[in-house]
Amino acid sequence: MIRFILLQNRQGKTRLAKYYISLEESEKHKVEYEVHRLVVNRDPKFTNFVEFRNHKVIYRRYAGLFFSLCVDITDNELAYLESIHLFVEILDHFFSNVCELDLVFNFHKVYLILDEFILAGELQETSKKAIIERMGELEKQE
Amino acid sequence: MALSGMRGLSVFISDIRNCQNKEQERLRVDKELGNVRTRFKNEKGLTPYEKKKYVWKMLYIYMLGYDVDFGHMEAVSLLSAPKYPEKQVGYIVTSCLLNENHDFLRIAINAVRNDIIGRNETFQCLALTLAGNIGGREFAESLAPDVQKLLISSSCRPLVRKKAALCLLRLYRKNPDVVNVDGWSDRMAQLLDERDMGVLTSSMSLLVSLVSNNHEAYWSCVPKCVKILERLARNQDVPQEYTYYGIPSPWLQVKTMRALQYFPTVEDPNTRRSLFEVLQRILMGTDVVKNVNKNNASHAVLFEALALVMHLDAEKEMMSQCVALLGKFIAVREPNIRYLGLENMTRMLMVAEVQDIIKRHQAQIITSLKDPDISIRRRALDLLYGMCDVSNAKDIVEELLQYLTTADFAMREELSLKAAILAEKFAPDLSWYVDVILQLIDKAGDFVSDDIWFRVVHFVTNNEDLQPYAALKAREYLDKPAIHETMVKVSAYLLGEYSHLLARRPGCSPKEIFNIIHEKLPTVSISTIAILLSTYAKILMHTQPPDRDLQSQIWAVFSKYESCIDAEIQQRAVEYHALSMKGAALMDILAEMPKFPERQSPLIKKAEDSEADTAEQSAIKLRAQQQNSNALVVTDQRPTNGAQPAGQLGLVKVPILSNADQSAAEIVSHANGALTVVDPQPPSTPSPDLLGDLLGPLAIEGPTGAAPASVASGLEGGVDADALAIAPIEEQANAVQPIGDIAERFHALCLKDSGVLYEDPYIQIGLKAEWGGHRGRVVLFLGNKITSPLNSVQALILPPSHLKMELSLVPETIPPRAQVQCPLEVMNLQPSRDIAVLDFSYKFGTQLVNVKLRLPAVLNKFLQPISVSAEEFFPQWRSLSGPPLKLQEVVRGVRPMPLAEMANLFNSLNLIVCPGLDPNPNNLVASTTFYSESTRAMLCLIRTETDPADRTQLRMTVASGDPTLTYELKEFVKEQLVNIPVPSRPPLAMPSHIQPTSPPPSAISDPGALLAGLL
């Protein structure tokens, strides 16, 4: 199960944070700080997995952005690693050539896309097409 | 890039981005927050558009890391907005800002439910998403039926149904009772026929969660899962959009194989054959390709297939294939694959036949121990740790020791702990063990916890052959120029006890020993000085005939510390000084330390304590438990000398485990445990609350570093208390002490429906009950609190004649730290106050623990509150004119209580007080409905007339349509009034055969337990 998803830039600014477990505010800040510190200095040649408390963080870096998923120790690492990439592909498709600024100015869209992709800490839909079409439907209603 | 028309928000974001520094940003944020706050205050002037804009701004500020402590209500109120744009904002912001424990969220339940059951599909989606992401227990209870309906509805689009599946998964995690297994299992199987891949993916996650808890009801899903796998992996029969880099949904493949790992086996030969065909295809057909995404995706599937093959006990040939693959992986350069190779090889250790093949890779694994990536080093360490046994312990431990000197900080503690444990478990001889630990202290003293050197002392004390050797080694280390303080402690302790055994060796005269130890004194801390003083006293005692010179030197030290500011040091100095003047009498008082009782290594326990919590119990752990129950014979044959079996660390497999236990037990059995010293250490650190864990939220736990601190004081206490060896204390009482008062727990459970029925240091029995009419369902939660299994578990229900009770099968073994649920069905045949008893027993080591516990299936559980009006009451009351249907009695000896309290008591018994029916304010009238098979639902009426002048007596009249019921109910209420449990009775009386000098059983000294006892 995905416990939380973080999108942070190199400086540690959180661009998106989604928690599927209930945490207190102070704890969230701590988690975001610690995860950033954990992944930011890792060599690109290292694994994309790193232990975090009793869980593990699966992360991947795209330009200056780190996408981190905190999952259970027993979860399938590579499957989650590729779900990060799928998410990035969806964002890329939606914003046509996504960059950090897109995510900053359209943070609410990012939440919407994420909600179509992951729910309750589990993958909900793995078809890029289905999600992009769904976003189109929703935009019409706005 | 502009935010769909919301200019104000875009401007604000740009402003923030243009801030030069944090201070400017804060000012800008504060300004905006002020603005938003004032706008929210006079909400009337706010258009929906503005409200939406401000709520988005709040979320943005919140994302920047600022506290937003207002506006939650505004966000929540948008949930019920009629139009989509506002509603959408409300839902998204609410699910970011609030968590399941937030009060505002409770208010929102109704709005969410309205959207779920409403007809607007988009609203349904929003509501399902919110409930699925942040819903708590209350959401689970009020929404589950509606969500289930949507999931199986044929009129909903897949879009809604996939969300419903995952929403239900969340609700199920919050409260497993919301999914009724009997009704749901067929539906679940039908869901697996789904053609829409989104719904199927979501449903598969739901299935994994369901079967991880209990697979029994879902056997019919097994062939369907295999079909899905065939469809994906063999036939590649999926819509194009569901292939990922040419691979048919790797995520669904992984989930499906995960689900299958929760079933103990696949029995049907045809299904099994098909499954193995698919697995074989995955194992053999996965090639390394250039594209990293494709490679990752195909290997995600491959590793899951490996796990499933291991789980299914495939033929040896297939297993060997797996090991060969893993052997290849651990040698590749690609870090992720190497990492996973190591991780899965550790899991593979569970398969006994391949252990020897894995051992051949030892050299390769050791190179990964030196990898620059700590993630890989950790996996390599785990694997080495797991594959260590008597045959390779020397090599592996020496490798770890060598690595210790160059290892980085983050790894040292773990390394030294693991090296210490392996040395202890697999030592071919004890002198090697002593060597290893002393080296450990020498190389990484800062990371060697007290437990580790305590353990050395323990072994040396209990093994006479080892004593001269250990003393000599300690003496050698003291010659080194700068030694770690821990080394000073252990050397001083060992030399104090055993240096006389070295007397004739060069450099080992009492005086020389004293001098070399005393050199270290100026550099050590208070706690070490305390040990040194004891050592000096012992050296003096062993110096026969007395050496005047040495004596005066040591006395000088004692006199110096007699005025030490630390009370402990001062006391030791004064006492040792006085004692050592007594000449020969000193011999008796400072006699050699007696042998320690056998006990589980605190190290191993510590290692076991660091267990991860996961949403789904790991399939590996489940398997380990299943194996455990099959391997009972092995467990029983083990020499049961009280040594607790060593448990698993992380993913250590079971077969190795039993090896490990064997040798750990052997080591300990050298020490023919004459139990002369009281073991001040708790038998196990009780886990906080197993039941709580089960019901609690899935929160992330804090760092595990702060493991059982109490252990640290274990031997230290022993040293202190026994240095003077005042009087060896009798063997500690065998009886296991319950934690808390059993009677109180019972009384509490008579009034509520969940809680702890019984607890002792090893087990906790929790109980959760649901009552309806004349039936009840009680679930007993048997939680093993310790790190070794509890065997010979037996639970017998002794039901009174009026209750029909059926207890489901209770497993004979409760695996370490596991919790077993045993449902108990209760049916009430007729009114009676008799009480059912649970005769519960288990074995811990050789000790049989048996308790008889009253079960709170008492009369009031079959009462349902009903409040009656005067028009209903009086005709009934009159029609039940006298005995035997209406009985009256003056009750004396009532515990005095105010009338309001009595009313509360009645209400808590489900006897609902109906105010105003009796004109006399000193009287209480109550009504209730009683359910049993013979009486069906029957109205009962009660009137109590109290005397304000004398609260110890009252007159009670009970009426119902059944004479037995009237009588039993009257007696029952009487018992409640006369015999009300006193809330704070002292927790336990000590059994008389424990001498007063013995410290209280650890269970009582544990503050948590004390608290529990008082509750």
pLDDT in tens, B991-1001: 444 344 444 44
DSSP B233: I
Instruction: Name which of A24, A78, A142 is nearest B300 (Cβ-Cβ).
Output: A78
Q: Count CB atoms within 10 A of the CB of residue B207.
A: 27
Helices vs. strands in chain A: H and E counts, helices first:
5, 7
Q: Sign of the CA dihedral B559, B560, B562, B567?
A: negative
**Among B288, B318, B333, residue at a domain's last position:** B288
ipTM above 0.90, yes or no: yes
- Which stretches of chain A are assigned E, i.e. beta strand? 2-9, 14-19, 49-52, 55-62, 65-71, 118-119, 122-123
B103 reaches A (C-beta below 8 A): no
Q: Rounded to 5 degrees, what angle do the CA atoms A103, A106, A112 make?
A: 95
B563 lies in which domain range?
459-598
Report yes or no: B754 and B776 within 8 Å, Cβ to Cβ: no
Q: Do B864 and B890 reside in the same domain of the chain?
A: yes
B336 reaches A (C-beta below 8 A): yes
CB distance A115–B254 less than 8 Å? no
Q: What whole-number distance in Å separates Cα of residue B346 and Cα of residue B350?
A: 8
User: What confidence tier does B579 reach under pLDDT thresholds 50, 70, 90?
Assistant: confident
Residues 149-208 of B with CB under 8 A from A: 159, 162-163, 166-167, 169-170, 173, 197-198, 201-202, 205
Write the DSSP string, B808-860. Answer: PPPPS-B-TT-EEEEEEEEEE-S------EEEEEEEETTEEEEEEEE----GG
The CATH code of the domain that includes B913 is: 3.30.310.10
- Best A60, A78, A104 member to test B by mutation, with max B CBs in 10 Å, is A78
> Would the pLDDT of B109 be above 50?
yes
CB distance A122–B169 less than 8 Å? yes
- Best B151, B298, B375, B651 member to test A by mutation, with max A CBs in 10 Å, is B375
Instruction: Name which of B100, B335, B340 is nearest A46 (Cβ-Cβ).
Output: B335
B745 reaches A (C-beta below 8 A): no
The CATH code of the domain that includes B508 is: 1.25.40
Q: Do B841 and B878 reside in the same domain of the chain?
A: no
Residue A81's closest chain B neighbor by CA?
Answer: B296
- Best A23, A74, A141 member to test B by mutation, with max B CBs in 10 Å, is A74
Report yes or no: B516 and B482 within 8 Å, Cβ to Cβ: no
Residue A15's closest chain B neighbor by CA?
Answer: B63
Res B735: pLDDT: 65
B538 marked as part of a ligand binding site: no
Report yes or no: B700 and A28 within 8 Å, Cβ to Cβ: no
Residue A32's closest chain B neighbor by CA?
Answer: B65
Residues 115-134 of B with CB under 8 A from A: 122, 128-129, 132-134
The single residue listed with the structure tokens 């950033």 is A36
> Would the pLDDT of B869 be above 60?
yes
Q: Do B810 and B909 reside in the same domain of the chain?
A: no
**Among B598, B618, B642, residue at a domain's last position:** B598
- Does residue B158 have a cis peptide bond before it, meaning omega lies within 30 degrees of 0? no
Q: Do B517 and B532 reside in the same domain of the chain?
A: yes
Domain count, chain B: 4
Res B624: pLDDT: 57
Q: Do B810 and B905 reside in the same domain of the chain?
A: no
Q: What whole-number distance in Å separates Cα of residue A41 and Cα of residue A45?
A: 11
Res B979: pLDDT: 65
Q: Is pLDDT larger for residue B675 or for residue B747?
A: B747
Q: Do B771 and B904 reside in the same domain of the chain?
A: no
> Would the pLDDT of B835 be above 50?
yes
Instruction: Count the residues in chain B.
Output: 1015
- Best B1, B700, B704 member to test A by mutation, with max A CBs in 10 Å, is B700
Instruction: Name which of B85, B99, B244 is nearest A86 (Cβ-Cβ).
Output: B244
- Best A31, A59, A69, A122 member to test B by mutation, with max B CBs in 10 Å, is A122
Mean predicted confidence (pLDDT) in B900-917: 85
Percent of chain B with pLDDT over 90: 38
Instruction: Name which of B1, B202, B620 is nearest A102 (Cβ-Cβ).
Output: B1
> For residue A45, which of B365, B370, B334, B294 has the smallest C-alpha distance?
B334
- List chain B residues with CB under 8 Å of A41: none
> Is residue B824 in some structural domain?
yes
B49 marked as part of a ligand binding site: yes
Instruction: Name which of A18, A22, A125 is nearest B162 (Cβ-Cβ).
Output: A125
Q: Which of B37-46, B293-302, B529-538, B583-592 has the lowest mean pLDDT?
A: B583-592
- List chain B residues with CB under 8 Å of A83: 251
CB distance A31–B700 less than 8 Å? yes
Q: pTM value?
A: 0.66
Rounded to 10 degrees, the C-alpha dihedral B153/B155/B158/B160 comes to -70
> Is residue B580 in some structural domain?
yes
- Does residue B545 have a cis peptide bond before it, meaning omega lies within 30 degrees of 0? yes
Instruction: Name which of B63, B84, B340 is nearest A78 (Cβ-Cβ).
Output: B340
**How close, in Å, is residue B162 to chain A by CA atoms?**
7
Res B433: pLDDT: 92
Residue A33's closest chain B neighbor by CA?
Answer: B65
B1013 marked as part of a ligand binding site: no
Mean predicted confidence (pLDDT) in B648-662: 33
> Is residue B381 in some structural domain?
no
Q: Do B814 and B724 reside in the same domain of the chain?
A: yes
Residue A123's closest chain B neighbor by CA?
Answer: B202
How far is the CA of B172 from the CAs of A20, B102, B169, B178, B736, in angstroms? 14, 20, 5, 6, 37
> Would the pLDDT of B427 be above 80?
yes
Q: What whole-number distance in Å separates Cα of residue B181 and Cα of residue B368?
A: 46
Q: Is pLDDT larger for residue B592 or for residue A16?
A: A16
> Is residue B539 in some structural domain?
yes
User: What confidence tier does B229 reach under pLDDT thresholds 50, 70, 90?
Assistant: very high
The CATH code of the domain that includes B731 is: 2.60.40.1230
B357 burial via Cβ count (<10 Å: 0-12, 13-18, 19+): middle
Residue B856 CA, chain-centre distance (Å), reads 26
User: What confidence tier does B430 reach under pLDDT thresholds 50, 70, 90?
Assistant: confident
B612 reaches A (C-beta below 8 A): yes
CB distance A15–B615 less than 8 Å? no
> Would the pLDDT of B45 be above 80?
no
**Which residues does residue B844 pair with via DSSP β-bridges, in sequence order?**
B847
3-state SS class at B793: strand
Res B623: pLDDT: 58
Res B998: pLDDT: 40
Percent of chain B with pLDDT over 70: 83
Rounded to 10 degrees, the C-alpha dihedral B559/B564/B570/B572 comes to -70
Residues 441-500 of B with CB under 8 A from A: none
> Would the pLDDT of B986 be above 60?
no
> Is residue B980 in some structural domain?
yes
> Is residue B608 in some structural domain?
no
Res B146: pLDDT: 95
Q: What whole-number distance in Å separates Cα of residue B578 and Cα of residue B574?
A: 6
- List chain A residues with CB under 8 Å of B699: 21-23
> Is residue B471 in some structural domain?
yes
CB distance B101–A79 less than 8 Å? no
Q: Sign of the CA dihedral B475, B476, B479, B481?
A: negative
Residue A29's closest chain B neighbor by CA?
Answer: B65
Res B641: pLDDT: 39
Q: Do B697 and B821 reside in the same domain of the chain?
A: yes
User: What confidence tier does B4 reach under pLDDT thresholds 50, 70, 90?
Assistant: low
User: What confidence tier does B622 reach under pLDDT thresholds 50, 70, 90?
Assistant: low
The single residue listed with the structure tokens 């409640």 is B976
Residue B121's closest chain A neighbor by CA?
Answer: A138
pLDDT in tens, A22-55: 998 899 999 999 999 999 999 999 999 999 988 9
- List chain B residues with CB under 8 Å of A72: 612, 614-616, 618
Res B636: pLDDT: 30
Residue B607 main-chain phi, psi, to 5 deg: -60, -40
Q: Do B728 and B811 reside in the same domain of the chain?
A: yes
**Among B835, B857, B879, residue at a domain's last position:** B857
Q: Do B838 and B971 reside in the same domain of the chain?
A: no
> Would the pLDDT of B304 be above 90?
yes
Q: What whole-number distance in Å separates Cα of residue B787 and Cα of residue B762?
A: 9
Averaged confidence pLDDT in chain B: 81
Q: Do B845 and B875 reside in the same domain of the chain?
A: no
CB distance A22–B101 less than 8 Å? yes
Q: Do B580 and B522 reside in the same domain of the chain?
A: yes
- List chain B residues with CB under 8 Å of A117: none
CB distance A79–B250 less than 8 Å? yes
Q: Sign of the CA dihedral B719, B720, B722, B723?
A: positive
pLDDT in tens, B698-749: 333 333 333 333 333 333 333 333 333 333 333 334 467 888 888 888 888 8
> Is residue B752 in some structural domain?
yes
DSSP B491: H
pLDDT in tens, B135-181: 999 999 999 999 999 999 989 999 999 999 999 999 999 999 999 88
Mean predicted confidence (pLDDT) in B451-459: 88
> Would the pLDDT of B256 be above 80?
yes
Res B618: pLDDT: 67
